[in-house]
Structure 1
Amino acid sequence: MRALPASAALPALAVAVLAAGALPGCSRDAPPPAYALPSEKVREGERVLHGRAGRSADLQVTVLGFSDPLTSLFGSHAEMRPKGRYVRVRIMAVNTGRDIQVFDTWKQLLVTADGRTLVPDVNATMVKRQPERLSVGAAMRAEFDLYYDVPQGVGARALRVVGSPTVGAVSQPDPADIPLT
């Protein structure tokens, strides 16, 4: 077999490299494959929020939807009315680490426009049967709602999320504020 002269080999090599880039899985610029997830209908009065995420430790939280105001809540066993008005925040929590992250509902705070922080409303959480604490396994994600009883006339500015300490951590992780407005 006879070798190609250098002047002929270089263009042939360039063509081969470009052709390989067009093959599935060979391009460095191609997006990775993604799961085809069924879409979820937006509930009445809910605003879809895009690009609203924060991370605390290995817990990545994305705000999916925001409902304000809700004047009452209906569950399978009760109807609840707030002292002010209910605010519902639909979130997706993803564990980006290799160990379990504990999502503790009571540590997730709503930051108001005047700087106050509010804890989730225990009665609304129970009536709507949302988790109090949830073990989010490695590479796992979960979607659910957080409910807050917000005083009338006070705006909601952000959701302050906090994950659980990672393995070997000696302190609580820093919280992350996710803007709602």
Structure 2
Amino acid sequence: MPSRSTHVLGTRPRAGRAPAAPALPLALALGLAAVLAGCSGSGHAKAPPAYRIPAETAREGEAVPQGRTGRSADMSFTVIGFRQGMTDVMGTHAAMGAKGAFTRVRLLAVNTGRDIQVFDTWKQRLVAADGRAYSPDVNATMIKRQPERLSVGASMRVEFDLWFDVPRGVKATAVRLYGSPPVGAVSQPAPAEIKLP
């Protein structure tokens, strides 16, 4: 196959020199290097925007802790409200006094996985200063219309209260929270233990 000439028509290439190689491959290589350099994590990338979620006013006597987050399996939990020492609860159809005193923990739960997580209220525990752990109170949970079991879809976030009835004078120091096992797991996940104010 005859070779292609790169000289301009009507001129002759100089003797002893090979025709100049095309500059296109070199230009492409330099352009690609510049593009890849821009992807090297130099810190100039723009952060994705954050959702703007409407703020809620805290309820009477409720502490609003900051940075109280933990994780169990694919469920991330944040304590966003806390109140203890309440003597009664009032709902839409009933009111009830505490046997001891009610403690209410407001949670934000986020499923960070790709499958449904089931939040089971009855597995959760309130941990006291003396190390004892308390189960949620059935009556307060029902009166306040809070979930017993809640299917939390992939990338879904929910907010709700956990209600506990503990002996008077008990100081709650943490809440122990359990997500559900991810797909393929053969055991229960480790809990998230979040300190309370």
TM category, shorter:
0.7 to 0.9
2:95, 2:191 → 1: CA distance? Answer: 32
2:22 corresponds to = none
Distance 1:34 1:78, change over 3 A: same
In the alignment, residue 153 of structure 2 is paired with which amino acid? G
One-letter amino acid matched to 1:90: R
What is the alpha-carbon distance in structure 2 between the residues aligned to residue 154 and residue 32 of structure 1? Answer: 44
Q: Which residue is equivalent to 1:53?
A: 69
CA–CA distance in structure 2, aligned partners of residues 120 and 102 of structure 1: 17
Asked whether 1:159 is paired with 2:175, we answer yes
**1:16-31 correspondence to structure 2 within 5 Å:** 27-28=44-45, 30-31=46-47
Task: Quote the Cα distance in structure 1 between the aligned partners of 2:115 and 2:94.
Answer: 37
**1:13-54 CA-partner distances (Å, limit 9, x unpaired):** 9xxx7xxx9xxxx933x4421111111110000000110011
- Counterpart amino acid of residue 59 in structure 1: M
Q: Is the 8 A contact 2:85 2:168 kept in 1?
A: no
- Residues 113-124 of structure 1 correspond to what in structure 2 (within 5 A)? 113-124=129-140
User: Do structure 1's residue 39 and structure 2's residue 87 form an aligned pair?
Assistant: no
Matches within 5 A, 1:1-181: 27-28=44-45, 30-181=46-197
Q: What is the distance in 2 between the residues matched to 1:36 and 1:27?
A: 23
**Separation in 1, partners of 2:44, 2:134:** 47
Q: CA-atom RMSD, angstroms?
A: 1.5
Quick one: distance in 1 between partners of 2:48 and 2:192? 27
Work out the number of aligned pairs and report it.
158
Query: CA offsets, 1:140-178, max 9 Å, x none?
Result: 000000000011111001000010000000101011100
Structure 1, unmatched stretches of 5+, are 1-12
Report % sequence identity: 63
Cα distance in 2 for partners of 1:38, 1:120 equals: 28
Give 1 or 2 for the bigger CA radius of gyration. Answer: 2
CA distance in structure 2 between the partners assigned to 1:63 and 1:97 by the alignment: 20
TM-score between the two structures when normalised by the length of structure 2: 0.77
CA separation in 2, counterparts of 1:34 and 1:151?
42
8 Å CA contact retained: 2:140, 2:163: yes
What whole-Å deviation, never above 9, does each CA across 1:93-112 have from its counterpart, x for those lacking one?
Answer: 00000000000000110001
